[in-house]
Amino acid sequence: MMHFFAKRYLSAYLDDALNDKNRNAVRQHLERCSSCRQLYAAIKQSTELIQSVRKQSIPSSIVYADVRSPSFSRYGWVAAAAAFLFAVGTLLFSYSKTRSTIDPQGAIYLDLLLQEAANSGSGPQLIKSPYHALAQSPVELSRITGRQYAEPVLPSDFRFQRGFIYEEQYGGGVGRVYVSNEGKILCLFEQPVETKMAYGAGNQEVQEFLGRDCIEVLWPSLRLVSCESGDKRILMLSNISTEQLESAFRSYPDLGSQQ
Amino acid sequence: MKLRPRRLEDFEQVFRDNVSRIYRLSYQYLGNPDAAEDATQETFLRALRSEKDFRHSSEISTWLFRIAVNVCLDGIRQNKRRRMESLHSLPEPTVRYSAQEDLEKLDLQRRVRIAVNALPSQLRMLVVLREFEDLSYQEILSITGLSIGTISSRLNRARLQIARVFQNEFRRDL
């Protein structure tokens, strides 16, 4: 009986996880039992081996090194087109000089916000996008991108949460996330119309608006409000009431005149 | 589910306080930075969704670890063609080693990682929690719900399996 007990608790004994009574029992058994001593020696060596290398196991310089580098391989057939379009978008927005290493924790947090927006909107999840920069404020976003952004006039309880430069398989652009006191999330995505891309359930509307074909509906849960070919901008809003959506749309300076 | 304002702020703080440890745990278990990031994200997303399940009697970090362990064991996004056991998927060192001793050590590190990755998932997770995360048996008990005896016997199996992989070198050292 003692043999089975001691054998079971060899690791706990090694890791000093036993109370005095059990520790003494295992120790006394080890003095008598050669097979348990052999097992204990092997367990101890194995632990020492892992301990000897574990500090090197997760070098901090590696941890996030590849997390957000552009990677189109997962996107299959659109990879080449996306790469090209992203290059176009990059030129249009002059991002190349401002692309910066982003805070990976902020990127994960932003992903959470975006997924939350998509999930609570009863649609599929947003595609995870590599971000090249994250901004904590509109001023910071402008500094990163070198552009000025008109603040949408939203209900007073909405506040700026994150700004980011993103890319996904159909291109890239600038995104902004606002969160209301009630926890509603408003996502604004802007990207050059020159990329000939369109999103959302209003795919047909986009095609009509642009007068040309779009590729495919990508985010059915996100409601397309409008896009403007002359001003290189698509505006998308997600997960807010129709009333708020219309209000935001009306008051958005660059698009208000189209209402 | 809707984010309430206070909760959102609280969550951001919880996120900041714990994201590094959750990422590290995921990385140690999955062995791949991309998969670890997914697991980290999934962990916090599940935490957001299951906030009501959080019992304030336990540490929030323990609760998050519990979720992260389940996320990792669930093998999130298995369809993403990620295979962590492959030697090629292990991170390349960023530091250049010149001394032969360092090279050997680096090689040993990779082999130990492969041996750990080859363990059955439940055993591997215990090794990660105990050996890499340095958690006590009580903490592991809180996270996994396993008894001290089960934790110990599973660690026995895991360590002995690793010992068998390196038995020739152990003998050489004796």
Chain B positions in Cβ-Cβ contact with residue A187 (cut-off 8 Å): none
Distances (CA, A) of A258 to A180, A196, A228, A245: 26, 20, 9, 15
Which residue out of A19, A54, A120, A126 would a mutagenesis test of the B interface target, given it has the greatest number of B Cβ atoms within 10 Å?
A54
> Which pLDDT score is estimated for B126?
95
> Which pLDDT score is estimated for A175?
76
Residues 106-135 of B with CB under 8 A from A: 106, 108-109, 112-113, 116, 127, 130-132
Chain A residue with minimum CA distance to B157: A43
Which stretches within A131-234 are classed as H helix?
A: 138-145, 203-210
Chain B residue with minimum CA distance to A36: B156
Residue A156 neighbours by CB distance under 10 Å: 8
Lay out the sheet containing A131-135: strands in order across: A131-135, A159-168, A171-179, A185-190
Closest C-alpha among A105, A77, A188, A222 to residue B37: A105
Residue A194 near residue A85 (C-beta atoms within 8 A)? no
Concatenated DSSP letters for A6-28? HHHTHHHHHTT-S-HHHHHHHHH
pLDDT in tens, B15-45: 888 888 898 898 888 887 778 888 888 888 8
pLDDT in tens, B55-106: 666 788 888 999 999 999 887 544 333 333 333 343 433 333 344 555 555 6
The CA angle A232-A234-A237, to the nearest 5 degrees, is 155
Question: What's chain B's length in residues?
Answer: 174
As beta bridge partners, residue A223 has A237
Rounded Cα gap, residues B146 and B149, in angstroms: 8
Which of B8, B27, B160 shows the shortest C-beta gap to A42?
Answer: B160
What is the dihedral sign for C-alpha A194, A198, A199, A205? Answer: positive
> Which pLDDT score is estimated for A129?
56
Residues 54-93 of B with CB under 8 A from A: 80, 91-93
Predicted complex ipTM: 0.78
Q: Is A97 exposed, middle or buried (0-12, 13-18, 19+ CB in 10 A)?
A: exposed
Question: Would an 8 Å CB–CB cutoff place B160 in contact with chain A?
Answer: yes
> Which pLDDT score is estimated for A219?
34
B108:A53 CB<8 A? yes
Chain B residue with minimum CA distance to A71: B34
Chain A residue with minimum CA distance to B82: A74
Distances (CA, A) of A208 to A89, A183, A229, B97: 22, 34, 11, 60
Residue B146 has pLDDT above 80, yes or no: yes
Distances (CA, A) of A30 to A10, A41, B157: 9, 11, 18
pLDDT in tens, B102-117: 555 567 877 888 888 8
B40:A108 CB<8 A? yes
Identify which has the larger pLDDT, A57 or B151. B151
Residue A203 near residue A216 (C-beta atoms within 8 A)? yes
Closest C-alpha among A80, A65, A93, A67 to residue A193: A93
Confidence of residue B8 (pLDDT cuts 50, 70, 90): low
Question: Would an 8 Å CB–CB cutoff place B152 in contact with chain A?
Answer: yes
Question: Would an 8 Å CB–CB cutoff place B21 in contact with chain A?
Answer: no
Residue B97 neighbours by CB distance under 10 Å: 13
Q: Is A77 exposed, middle or buried (0-12, 13-18, 19+ CB in 10 A)?
A: exposed
A58:B24 CB<8 A? yes
What type of residue is B159?
A: R
pLDDT, averaged in runs of 10, over chain A (259 residues): 86 94 93 93 93 60 26 26 28 32 67 66 44 80 78 75 68 72 68 41 46 37 39 39 48 39
Confidence of residue B48 (pLDDT cuts 50, 70, 90): confident
